[in-house]
Structure 1
């Protein structure tokens, strides 16, 4: 598997094996993550949630206890804060012996505890620090003494990522609670500018069916000041410990991946699944905990672990991807030697294909099981017609091109249409996936070669190469891969096999499609369906 291809695969925590050093930070396959937080004897929040979250996301969890609580799913009954010097002893005992890759800070309790943590952070200098400014519990119970709020604000600049809920975001700024998403983002920008940290603005407490999250940093540390990751709202009362779980998962993912946006795009689907499956735990009579290990197949289940099916699909695609890179069309596209006649025929067929592809994506939107997936496929269908086709129309309108439906295009679209009426959402998703995945891989590879060659300003196909190396397209590809993997995990063995067949057939048509200009000049046989 190429390095580019692996970036599109979901990253199951148990299977990550990447280490590198961007910016001097060593990325570890199993990061050692220290949670500094209070204890929840009911197991849903605090240190208990942190350790589950760290483990679920592939880390080795450690804990330094800042406070003891008497609480359950219905609320907090009492809080006891041990002496701060004992917390210091815990922290020093750990860091004197163990290399710490990331730190998550949660409930701190009072000013002396905050001072102890601050002093230790300044000495230990961990590479990744995520601060969840726990001030008010989901139940409404105050978890931080009012006198300690100023000390907590002074701790924020030592964090790399701050993850307040909307109430805490307002309290940190001494401002009214944001009542909509735009107001929340504006507060996130102000807090980021004031502290220098990246702020994770969470939309979980807003009304509506959407539940976006956004990374905000005004100092140029992100690709843009605000990076929004959309998501669906999970209708559940079992959200106890969501903030703790998210922040510790982000610390773990960042120590593995080294990129806040990639970390959020990895963690968010996991947390949504933890909320969606929370009811299966049947814990407590109040606001129950999330299901941290929902992604692990239960004993006796035949569902593959998260990311496994996507990895199988990519292995299936390997021979076809190799074949794509061997095509004269691709080599000529990369070095600019491809004739305009061949490229124009390819674009003409692509315009026809995209029209049919958009109809198939619309069908996926119609039968998708979640609102997020419905919106994703609907937006993708619209993009086929409004964005991608525009490039083709602009090119084709100034040239004399054969726009008749080609045999490969017809066979490919017929295959997709057949998949769309198969009655299986998983089969349909698998069939449309190669047009995302193979294009993203090939486009990114060719664009990399284009840049390495000096980005010649007169390269005739530079616009096409930039289009398919676009990060927006790469992000859409990652989401499409995750959707296919999720669909496979919910499917039967027979349906998963049908998904592989549909995917492999589409991969073969992708090869033939790239080779269609040559086939147009010297007709070849259309590939038989994979059995």
Structure 2
């Protein structure tokens, strides 16, 4: 790590007032109802759902649709209680408790499906995840064939459908997909038919990769197919993986409000649950996953001061290297950057500041200490007063395209999503690159500027001086320290979510610096002949 980078790691110094970069209600503990069958071995069904919900920060509730006699080797018998009793369970819960999300698993027969559909129409929960349990990984059928059509009619009531590949094929009346491309194609067809989002899972395919993909053909995602890659975990202990994933997604969605963010938070947790499954030593067959692998024995998961911040700095390294290689940054350093490119950048930054200040205000509102509340509140104020003035002064004498750019919108949307995640740690990790990367880049460019003799004719001298002053550096150190402190108090799952939010913001920083070039190239493309 360079001396410059290490200067921003946590120190005990007090920070001066910062100047951040210029440039259905969600709940922290969602109440999640699982509607599914029971597994007496504890690996799948309701038992897996409740563990998964708790492991991902939710309060779990359960309505039992079926009783099974099963263990790690397979299902021996299934008993489906009267559908009227399921209705009584559902109504007893919803009459008393506000439900933030619902996960639906094994339903068993047509009468049970009808009862669930009727209740959904009355209760109208904000988040519904449907795991269309038709056949277990062991090959045991868990849904009567006569009920398959009724299950298909339930699909449009779900916000997310999570079939395994066999169930995906059965729902479409098609052969089983034998590769990832075929599975994605089937996911698109099911999403179009059901008018909802489908999670296509690559766990049952051959090979070392294990991707998952969110598919929606109606514009509800950033793109029709959002792929989240992952490595395959070599283990026979995968009992309950599908149940655990679907209930975790319901819980995460009720906290985050974004399917992609939910999948990116849940997938590392599930990979860890598979990786650590053998430690449970449950059964002699296909054992269960380790839902609470991230909860180390007391005292074993503590972080030393600065340890998490150092890990974040390492995460940011590739993005900083990329930033320094951008034509925009090189031109900014030597003054050769065109005024058109700089004007577009500042115009986007001015738009960005409005959203960023709101996010900083949210951090101030939920900060755990008065000192941190004041820090973020001053950050929001400085954001609008100091830096916006620099932008207004420069832009007031130029004609600039001030329309909201796609990168600006995506970045602000990401920060706003983090601000309502319910996690203070995730929020401060998401805003940190706007301090840290900017401080490092600003200090580096200012150093080059001074080495060149601080030429008075440099067109962007004011900008370089603003982002390289000691006040901003001190504020950055404080933001890093606050984030590191939040990580020390967080669970391992939350730390993973913090690192993900930080990495996503780093990537947006890269795209933000490169946006003027992309915009100029798009503007120069001639209109197609019609």
Q: TM-score, normalised by structure 2?
A: 0.61
Q: Partners of 1:140 and 1:79 in 2: how far apart?
A: 14
Residue 230 of structure 2 corresponds to residue 231 of structure 1: yes
**Match in the other structure for 2:138:** 139
The 1:309–1:258 alpha-carbon spacing in structure 2 relative to 1, beyond 3 Å, is: farther
Q: TM-score, normalised by structure 1?
A: 0.61
Q: Partners of 1:459 and 1:55 in 2: how far apart?
A: 54
**Match in the other structure for 1:57:** 56
User: Is contact 2:107-2:113 (8 Å) kept?
Assistant: yes
DSSP-derived class of the 2:294 partner: coil
Task: Quote the offset at 1:394 in angstroms.
Answer: 9.0
**Match in the other structure for 1:301:** 300
DSSP-derived class of the 2:34 partner: strand
Alignment of 1:475-490 (within 5 A): none
**Match in the other structure for 1:198:** 197
**Match in the other structure for 1:79:** 78
Q: Partners of 1:75 and 1:173 in 2: how far apart?
A: 26
Task: Quote the offset at 1:512 in angstroms.
Answer: 2.2
Residue 185 of structure 2 corresponds to residue 189 of structure 1: no
**Match in the other structure for 1:211:** 210
Q: Partners of 2:302 and 2:285 in 1: how far apart?
A: 30
The 1:460–1:273 alpha-carbon spacing in structure 2 relative to 1, beyond 3 Å, is: farther
Alignment of 1:294-443 (within 5 A): 294-304=293-303, 313=309, 384=322, 389=326, 399=336
User: Is contact 2:102-2:129 (8 Å) kept?
Assistant: yes
Q: Partners of 1:271 and 1:151 in 2: how far apart?
A: 30
For 1:389-443, what per-residue CA distance to the aligned partner results, in whole angstroms no more than 9, with x for missing partners?
A: 4666899999599xxxxxxxxxxxxxxxxxxxxxxxxxxxxxxxxxxxxxxx99x
The 1:78–1:515 alpha-carbon spacing in structure 2 relative to 1, beyond 3 Å, is: same
Q: Partners of 2:334 and 2:295 in 1: how far apart?
A: 52
User: Is contact 1:166-1:178 (8 Å) kept?
Assistant: yes
Task: Quote the offset at 1:299 in angstroms.
Answer: 2.8
User: Is contact 1:297-1:303 (8 Å) kept?
Assistant: no
Q: Partners of 2:241 and 2:207 in 1: how far apart?
A: 18
Residue 515 of structure 2 corresponds to residue 519 of structure 1: no
**Match in the other structure for 2:20:** none
**Match in the other structure for 1:92:** 91
DSSP-derived class of the 1:182 partner: helix
User: Is contact 1:241-1:290 (8 Å) kept?
Assistant: yes
**Match in the other structure for 1:121:** 120
The 1:301–1:121 alpha-carbon spacing in structure 2 relative to 1, beyond 3 Å, is: same
Answer 1 or 2: higher relative contact order, Cα 8 Å, separation at least 6. Answer: 2
User: Is contact 1:200-1:215 (8 Å) kept?
Assistant: yes
Task: Quote the offset at 1:296 in angstroms.
Answer: 1.2
**Matched length:** 372
The 1:75–1:471 alpha-carbon spacing in structure 2 relative to 1, beyond 3 Å, is: farther
Task: Quote the offset at 1:522 in angstroms.
Answer: 5.0
The 1:313–1:89 alpha-carbon spacing in structure 2 relative to 1, beyond 3 Å, is: same
DSSP-derived class of the 2:208 partner: coil
**Match in the other structure for 1:280:** 279
Structure 2 unaligned spans of 5+: 1-23, 339-378, 419-424, 426-434, 456-467, 478-530
Q: Partners of 1:47 and 1:309 in 2: how far apart?
A: 39
Q: Partners of 1:252 and 1:400 in 2: how far apart?
A: 47
User: Is contact 2:110-2:147 (8 Å) kept?
Assistant: yes
Q: Partners of 1:249 and 1:92 in 2: how far apart?
A: 23
For 1:312-364, what per-residue CA distance to the aligned partner results, in whole angstroms no more than 9, with x for missing partners?
A: 529999xxxxxxxxxxxxxxxxxxxxxxxxxxxxxxxxxxxxxxx99x97xxx
Task: Quote the offset at 1:122 in angstroms.
Answer: 0.5
The 1:129–1:525 alpha-carbon spacing in structure 2 relative to 1, beyond 3 Å, is: closer
Q: Partners of 2:388 and 2:114 in 1: how far apart?
A: 51
Task: Quote the offset at 1:181 in angstroms.
Answer: 1.1
User: Is contact 2:202-2:212 (8 Å) kept?
Assistant: yes
User: Is contact 1:42-1:72 (8 Å) kept?
Assistant: yes
Task: Quote the offset at 1:301 in angstroms.
Answer: 1.4
The 1:186–1:54 alpha-carbon spacing in structure 2 relative to 1, beyond 3 Å, is: same
The 1:511–1:181 alpha-carbon spacing in structure 2 relative to 1, beyond 3 Å, is: same
Q: Partners of 1:276 and 1:315 in 2: how far apart?
A: 22
For 1:37-84, what per-residue CA distance to the aligned partner results, in whole angstroms no more than 9, with x for missing partners?
A: 000001000000000000001100000000001111111111111110
**Match in the other structure for 1:29:** 28
**Match in the other structure for 1:370:** none
User: Is contact 1:136-1:144 (8 Å) kept?
Assistant: yes
Q: Partners of 1:513 and 1:136 in 2: how far apart?
A: 59
The 1:470–1:35 alpha-carbon spacing in structure 2 relative to 1, beyond 3 Å, is: closer
Task: Quote the offset at 1:468 in angstroms.
Answer: 8.6
The 1:36–1:456 alpha-carbon spacing in structure 2 relative to 1, beyond 3 Å, is: farther
**Match in the other structure for 1:245:** 244
Q: Partners of 2:203 and 2:306 in 1: how far apart?
A: 29
Q: Partners of 2:114 and 2:85 in 1: how far apart?
A: 13
**Match in the other structure for 1:497:** none
**Match in the other structure for 1:110:** 109
